[in-house]
Structure 1
Amino acid sequence: MEAARDLFVTHGYAQVTMGHVARSAGVATKTLYASVGTKTELLHALLAADVADSRTTGLYDEVVRCEDLASAVACLAHGTRGNTERFASSIDLLYACMASDDKAREVWDYVVTQYRQALREVAQHLVATGVVAPPLDVDGTADRLWLCFGLSAWRSLVVDCGWSYDDAERLLARQAVNLLEDPVPAGGA
């Protein structure tokens, strides 16, 4: 899997064949297919391992221990930053290949679903403890958390704009607190 990750990131998912991965890993191509399946299944397994290795469970426990919105959001910002920074190469890989490969797009959708679910669990806690402004419900809170801490938010600031992770973390945390303390109603009214 590490050989595949390195090749996909270096050369691009579409350019790498299973033969390339097998040679890099020092195994026969048949062995590779027998152990991981197709190239898409290999990509899915690689990214699923990243999702499983993310620290969302421990992060949720840390957020729950926070006593106010600002500290909960700061904790969430730091934790999502850690995962985003740790898995930057996998995120870059997905961005690069999902437009040209339907199966890679399915993997992206899986990653996004897992990430959004983790943020939704945090939103449920924040709403249940009453630290977000009325009339925010779980959906509205989860959407605002996704806007601030979703993959695109980090990527926009760090990759597209060249910000440091420290600066992005500070801005996104501040933005999330603002959106959760004084929310704009759905539809912008």
Structure 2
Amino acid sequence: MPERTRRYRSTRREQSAAQTRQDILETARDLFTTHGYAQVTMGQLARSAGVATKTLYASVGTKTQLLHALLAVDVADSKATGLHDEVFRSTDLASAVTSLARGIRGNTERFAASINLLHSSMASDDKARQVWEYVVAQYRQALREVAEHLVAIGVVAPRLDVDGAADRLWFCFGLSAWRSLVVDCGWSYDDAERLLARQAVRMLEDPGPA
């Protein structure tokens, strides 16, 4: 009986710790988005989350680790949306690229606040830049997997290898492409999705001079 009680109490503590961490992450996202990553201190975050500073560090680590955790959640969520599944079921280039554009557009729009947060933070904070580089690496890897599939099923230009296809997908669907059209030029996500999809198909079918 005592052993069972200890196990029960341990489970409750684990659940409480997980909820505390989730509350901290949500509070941090709100504060970073509202005030900017560089302006928010860990002390301010602790007070807003209603926890002791010691608890804050024990739960999420340093400020950089906290930002990394926020973006890691977004990366995990983006992979869970089935971005790859429909693309990998496609047997022609147009269908694959259309599915890819739709999936990436959904993730880009869904996580726009986090992307904007990182973009605004990395110029003044080296550690924020490290998180940006992590997100970019994850994103580029996902696009490379798509490129491998497209090359494998033979729907891209014959002389285009995986590296070449991946580079063109990044050019068309990378974070900067969406930001340039939606943020800088004021395009709707619908219009940006259609243009980037058409551009990607053209570049994969006709990659240009060797």
- TM-score where L is the length of structure 1: 0.95
- In 2, Cα distance between the equivalents of 1:96 and 1:129? 39
CA RMSD of aligned residues (A): 1.1
Identical aligned residues as a percent:
82
- After TM superposition, the structure 1 = structure 2 runs for residues 53-72 of structure 1, keeping only pairs within 5 Å, are 53-55=77-79, 58-72=82-96
- After TM superposition, the structure 1 = structure 2 runs for residues 35-184 of structure 1, keeping only pairs within 5 Å, are 35-55=59-79, 58-184=82-208
Shift in CA distance, 69/141, structure 1 to aligned 2, threshold 3 Å: same
With 34-43 and 139-148 compared, the bigger mean Cα shift is at 34-43
Report the alpha carbon displacement of residue 154 of structure 1 after superposing the two structures with TM.
Answer: 0.6
Unaligned runs of 5+ in 2: 1-24
Contact 2:64/2:127 (8 A) holds in 1: yes
How many residue pairs match? The answer is: 186
Report the alpha carbon displacement of residue 57 of structure 1 after superposing the two structures with TM.
Answer: 7.0
Contact 1:55/1:79 (8 A) holds in 2: no
Report the alpha carbon displacement of residue 61 of structure 1 after superposing the two structures with TM.
Answer: 1.5
Contact 2:88/2:149 (8 A) holds in 1: yes
Contact 1:8/1:16 (8 A) holds in 2: yes
Q: What secondary structure does 1:21 align onto?
A: helix
- In 1, Cα distance between the equivalents of 2:92 and 2:29? 40
Contact 2:91/2:153 (8 A) holds in 1: no
Higher Rg: 2
Q: Structure 2: which amino acid aligns with 1:55?
A: K
Unaligned runs of 5+ in 1: none
Report the alpha carbon displacement of residue 120 of structure 1 after superposing the two structures with TM.
Answer: 0.2
